[in-house]
Amino acid sequence: MNRTALVTGAAGFIASHLSEKLLQEGYHVIGIDNFDSFYNPAIKHQNVERLRSIGKQNFEFLEMDLRNTSDFQGLPKKVDIVFHLAGKAGVRPSIEAPSEYIDTNVSGTQNVLDWMKNIACDKLIFASSSSIYGNNKKVPFSEADEVNAPISPYAFTKRSNELQIHTFHHLYDPNAICLRFFTVYGPRQRPDLAIRKFVTRIKNGEPIDQYGDGSSGRDYTFISDIINGVYSAANYLFEHENVYEIINLGSHSPILLKEMIETIGVTLNTTPKVNILPLQPGDVEVTYADISKAKELLNYEPKVSFQQGINNFVKWFNNH
C-alpha cells in the first residue's frame, strides 16, 4: 500500500493506536500533535517513541498546533486521507474554559479543512463524540436523533465540527465520515478518564469518587474495536464517492457506574473504597449506541466484552 495518512493528535490515546494500526497495514503515517498539557506530555512522548520504533521510515512526526495556520506550511503537499482526532477533550474541563475548546476544536478544525482544500485532499475521518446526544431520553442513540441540546461546551464544539464538515462537503465535495465514539477505554488510556483513574487509586489503596447513586451508564467501547471501526471507515471512503456520513462507534451495551466499579474491584481482587458525591454539571445520565448503521456500512462488530476489556487494561497497567 502506498497511501499516506495524516493523523492529528497522533500522540494521544486513540490516535496513537490508530497510527499503529495504519503502520501495520502499510500506510505512510504523518503524525502531528502539540503535546497539550491537559495531561502529562511525557505520556504522549512515549506514544510517539513507540510509533517511531514500529514505523521506522514510514512514520514522520511534527510538533505543531492546529490553531496556528503558519504551522501547516511544514506539512506535505500530498496526503491521501486525514484522520482528524486532535482537539481539547473532557466534558467537565470544558465548562471551566469554554473559549479554549471553541478555539481549539472549532477554529483548529477549520484550519484543517482549509489546508485539505489547499492541497486537494478529499478524504476525511473525524473523531466526534457520543456527548453530542446530551440527555436524550430515547435509547439507544441513533444518528437520526435530534441533537440540538448538548449540555457541555465540549459537546457543542463536537456538534459544531460535524456541521463544519458537512458545509465543507457541500461546498467542495470531499468524502467525509464523522464517527461518534462512545467512551473508549483500554491500554494507554488518558489518566483523567474514569477506568484508569479508578484502577490507579484502588491499587494505591485510595478511595474513588462516585458521582451520583451509581445508576448512570456508559457504553464502554474497547480501543481495538474502535480502531477496527475507524479503519473500516477509511476503507469505505476509498471505495465510495460523494460520502458524508455520521456513524456511531460503540459497544451497544451500557455498563452502570456501580457495575463498572464492581468489575474493577473483582479484577483487582479488592473491595474499592467509594466516596459518593453529587452528580456533576455536564454529565449525561447514559450513553447507549445504536450501531446498526456501523454494521451496515462498515461491517462493524465489537468483539471485546467489558470484563475482557478490563482484564486487558489491568494487565497493561500492571506492566506500565
C-alpha cell at 187: 491500554
Question: Could you give the number of structural domains in the chain?
Answer: 1
CA gap 231, 298 in Å, rounded: 9
Write the pLDDT tens digit of every residue in 103-114: 999 999 999 999
Q: What is the pLDDT of residues 209-251, one digit of tens each?
A: 999 999 999 999 999 999 999 999 999 999 999 999 999 999 9
Q: How far apart are the first and last CA of the chain?
A: 33
Tally of CB atoms within 10 A around 145: 15
Contact 289, 246 (CB under 8 A): no
Place of cell 473559549: 99
Is residue 318 assigned to a domain?
A: no
pLDDT band at 258 (very low <50, low <70, confident <90, very high): very high
Contacts of 207 (CB under 8 A, 6+ apart): 201, 272, 273, 274, 275
**CA 67, 69, 71, 72 torsion: positive or negative?**
positive
Please say if the pLDDT value at position 1 is more than 80.
no
What b/e string do you get for 37-67 counting C-beta neighbours within 10 Å, with b at 16 or more? Answer: ebbeeebbeebbebbeeebeeebbbeebbbe
* pLDDT at residue 282 tops 80: no
User: Per-residue b/e over 189-215, b at no fewer than 16 CB within 10 Å?
Assistant: bbeebbbbebbeebeeeeebebbeebe
Q: Tell me whether residue 230 is in a domain.
A: yes
Task: Give the model confidence (pLDDT) of 142-158 as tens digits.
Answer: 999 999 999 999 999 99
User: Which residues 6+ apart lie within 8 Å of 121 measured at CB?
Assistant: 6, 78, 79, 80, 81, 82, 174
Q: Which CATH number goes with the domain that contains 154?
A: 3.40.50.720
Confirm whether 228 is domain-assigned.
Answer: yes
In a domain, 161, yes or no: yes
Quote the domain boundaries for residue 30: 4-186+221-250+289-302
3-state secondary structure 168-236: HHHHHCCEEEEEEECCEECCCCCCCCHHHHHHHHHHCCCCEEEECCCCCEECCEEHHHHHHHHHHHHHH
- Beta carbons within 8 Å of 305's beta carbon, 6+ residues apart: none
The answer as to whether 261 is a domain residue is no
Q: What is the pLDDT of residues 5-54, one digit of tens each?
A: 999 999 999 999 999 999 999 999 999 999 998 889 999 999 999 999 99
Catalytic residue positions, numbered: 154
Question: What phi-psi label fits residue 141: left (phi over 0), alpha (psi between -120 and 50 degrees) or beta?
Answer: beta
What number of helices (H) and strands (E) belong to the chain?
Answer: 11, 13
Q: Is residue 36 part of a domain?
A: yes
Whether 79 is covered by a domain: the verdict is: yes
Residue 91 lies in a domain: yes
Q: Give 73-89 as a 3 state SS string.
A: HHCCCCCCEEEECCCCC
